[in-house]
Amino acid sequence: MKIVILAGGLGTRISEESHLRPKPMIEIGGLPILWHIMKTYSHYGFNEFIICAGYKQNYIKDFFANYYLNNTDVTFDFSQGQRMTEHVSKREAWKVTVVDTGLNTMTGGRIRRIKEYIGNETFMLTYGDGVANVNIKELLEFHYSKKKQATLTAVKPEGRFGFLEINTDIVKSFREKDQQDIGFINGGFMVLEPSVIDLIQDDLTIFEKEPLERLAESNELAAYKHLGFWQCMDTLRDKEKLENLWANNKAPWKIWDGEYDE
C-alpha cells in the first residue's frame, strides 16, 4: 500500500526555518521530520511513498538522491584517478516517488495531481509536518472494519494556554489546559479509497474543506481516535519541543528499532 505525504506547502508559520528549506525538511535530531514520519510507516511494513512536493522541492529530491551515499561508509582512492569503494551501509526498504505538485497548489490539488501514481488502490495519506505514535496496523484494520471511503486519525492536541477561573474580576484559580478540555481535530494519518480523489475538483481545492465535508455529510468519513502522542510542527516552539524530546531519548514517536542516531 502506498503512503502519500503532503510536503509542498510554504510553512509560513515557521518562517524562521522554512525560508531556507521546505517545512518537511526541517530537521529533528539531524534528520528531516519527513524522515521521522516515513520511519513510522516503515516500522509497520509500509515502504512505498509518494511525496507531494512543491515549495523548494529540489531539497527533497536532493535528500533522497544522496541518501544512500550519506548513510554508507566509503573509501575514496585518488591514487589512480578517483575510485570509490562502499563499505557498511544503512539500507531502507523504501521506494520513494517525489512529485512536483506545484508551488501554490492546495492540499486537494496536490492529491489530485498524483492520481496516476495511486492507481485503483486504497492508500494512506498524512501531512509532512506531524509525528505520532499511531499504530498504523490498527488504523488500517479500523478503516476496513468501518467500510467507509475515508478514515482520518482524530487527535486531541496539547493545550498551549492555561485556564483562568474568574469571579467578579478576581482570579480564583489557574490551571493548565489538558486534553480533556479540547475537542478532537484531524491529525492526518488517513486511509483513503481511490474514489475520494474524484471529489477533488482542481488545484484550488482544499482537501480539508469540500472533499472531507462531503464525505462527512454522506456518512463516509470514519474517525480513528488516537489518544497517544501526536505533535505537529507549526512553530519554532513546536520544533524546539520535538528536538528536546529527541535529544533526551524521550521521543514517543520513535517506535522503530535501532539507535537514535540512525
Model confidence pLDDT, tens digit, residues 4-34? 999 998 877 777 776 788 999 999 999 999 9
Q: Is the pLDDT of residue 43 over 50?
A: yes
Model confidence pLDDT, tens digit, residues 68-99? 888 889 899 998 788 888 887 677 999 999 99
pLDDT of residue 19: 77
Q: Is the pLDDT of residue 169 over 50?
A: no
Residue reference for cell 521521543? 251
pLDDT of residue 69: 86
Cβ 30 vs Cβ 78: under 8 Å: no
Q: Is the pLDDT of residue 171 over 70?
A: no
Residue reference for cell 492520481? 115
Q: Is the pLDDT of residue 156 over 60?
A: yes
Mean local confidence (pLDDT), 35-59: 97
Q: Is the pLDDT of residue 141 over 70?
A: yes
Residue reference for cell 486504497? 122
pLDDT of residue 180: 61
pLDDT of residue 258: 66
Q: What is the pTM of this model?
A: 0.89
DSSP string, 49-84: EEEEE-TTHHHHHHHHHTHHHHTEEEEEE-BTB-EE
Domains detected in the chain: 2-154+183-247 (3.90.550.10)
Percent of the chain with pLDDT over 90: 71
With vertex at residue 36, the alpha carbon angle to CA 35 and CA 42, rounded to the nearest 5 degrees, is: 85
| Low-confidence winner among 94-108, 126-140, 154-168 (lowest mean pLDDT) | 154-168
Model confidence pLDDT, tens digit, residues 184-238? 889 999 999 999 999 999 999 999 999 999 999 898 999 999 999 999 998 999 9
Query: Can you say whether the dihedral through the CA atoms of 144, 110, 34, 15 is positive or negative?
Result: negative
Q: Is the pLDDT of residue 129 over 90?
A: yes
pLDDT of residue 20: 82
